[in-house]
Amino acid sequence: MALLEVKNLDKSFVTADRKVTAIDKLTVAIEDNEFVAIVGPSGCGKSTFLHIVGGFEPADGGAVMLDGRPVGRPGPDRGMMFQDHTLFPWLTALANVAWPLQMKGMAKAERLAKARAYLDLVHLSRYAGLYPAELSGGMRQRVALARLFALDSQILLMDEPFGSLDSQTRELLQEELQAIWRRDRKTALFVTHDIDEAVFLATRVLVLTARPARLKADIALPAVDRGGDYRKSAQYLRTRADIWDLLREEVLRARVLEET
């Protein structure tokens, strides 16, 4: 049994003048320890799909099962990271990382030790006592990343978490995320508009169609070292080109849909 099973998922929204189908009969299975990137045209339903898995949006039809159980409201079995860091402004970096562990009932000494260990993984130990307003945007996302992994959920859900960052900070955070994932091997679903990001991070890429979202392609990526030089490799460039060929058709179709 796959860790996450999605079967015939449907989701629609009603606007002032029409009904818009966001997801149509989407079926996919995610195995334990996979890092799955989801790409597709803007507005195709990628984030909606992730929010349904996270319990933030109800589905209209189909089933979403995590470890054999139907998903319901948001819970600690599904850690979520958004484009906005969503840190508590009144808590220090250390306290933000430790907060979900406190909610799980972990003893103070243990949760602080674990929070410090994850801050160290994202190279923020010296900033543990600072508040979010005192940190740069990239540093705030690194705190959010540390908090996500510290929670130790069954599956990590990331909705364009680096989308608002400058390109240099974004690449460094991708490398840090890849290093932490290779250490912990947590199952992850990662929504992105960036093909380069998907190819660098993922063990598997799902390409969704223009609205309504259906699965167009399911691409397994080679299990190779993802160090900085991977971006220059022939394998990386070939995979990126193949995914763009698939995605380009859907981006053009989405543009036509917007004009009708």
For residue range 48-107, list pLDDT tens digits in order. 999 999 999 999 999 999 999 999 899 889 999 988 778 999 999 999 999 989 988 899
pLDDT for res 80: 92
* 69, 160: one domain: yes
Regarding whether 161 and 66 lie in a shared domain, the answer is yes
Task: State the CATH number of the domain containing residue 71.
Answer: 3.40.50.300
Query: Average pLDDT, whole number, for the chain?
Result: 91
For residues 131 and 188, membership in a common domain is answered with no
Residue 260 pLDDT: 59
Domain ends where: 97, 131, 152?
152
Statement: residue 151 has pLDDT above 80: yes
Q: What is the side-by-side strand order in the sheet with 4-14?
A: 19-30, 4-14, 61-66, 69-70
| Averaged pLDDT for residues 228-246 | 90
Same domain, 10 and 134: no
Distances (CA, A) of 203 to 81, 90, 223, 224: 19, 37, 7, 9
Q: Over pLDDT 90: what percentage of the chain?
A: 68
Residues 87 and 214 occupy one common structural domain? no
Q: Domain check: are 18 and 30 in the same one?
A: yes
- Is the pLDDT at 223 greater than 80? The verdict is no
- Supply the pLDDT for residue 111: 93
pLDDT band at 15 (very low <50, low <70, confident <90, very high): confident
pLDDT at 231 over 90: no
Q: How many angstroms from the chain centroid is the CA of residue 225?
A: 21
Q: What average pLDDT does range 113-135 have in this prediction?
A: 94
Q: In whole angstroms, give the CA distance from residue 131 to residue 161.
A: 20
Which value, in Å, is the radius of gyration of the alpha carbons in the chain?
19
Residue 224 amino acid letter: V
Q: Which tens digits make up the pLDDT trace of 162-189?
A: 988 888 888 889 988 998 998 889 999 9
| Nearest CA-CA partner of 143 in 172, 119, 174 | 119
Give the H or E element holding residue 4.
strand 4-14
Distance CA 66, CA 79 (A): 13
Domain count, the chain: 2
Q: Are residues 91 and 112 in the same domain?
A: yes
Domain that holds residue 128: 81-152
Pair 241, 71: CB distance under 8 Å: no
Decide which of 124, 152, 180 is a domain's last residue. Answer: 152
* Residue 238 confidence (pLDDT) above 80: yes
Tell me what the mean pLDDT of segment 106-127 comes to: 93
Same-domain status, 69 and 168: yes
Q: Which residue, 50, 73, 53, 56, is CA-closest to 64?
A: 53
End residue of a domain, out of 152, 171, 190: 152
Residues 138, 161: one domain?
Answer: no
Q: Across-strand partners of 67?
A: none
Residues 185 and 252 in one domain: yes
Q: Provide the residue type at 42 as one letter.
A: S
What is d(CA 217, CA 79) in angstroms, rounded to the nearest whole number? 26
Indicate the burial class of 246 (C-beta count within 10 angstroms; 0-12, 13-18, 19 or more).
middle
Task: Please check whether residues 109 and 67 belong to one and the same domain.
Answer: no
Q: Do residues 61 and 165 share a domain?
A: yes
Q: Over 80: is that where the pLDDT of 258 sits?
A: no
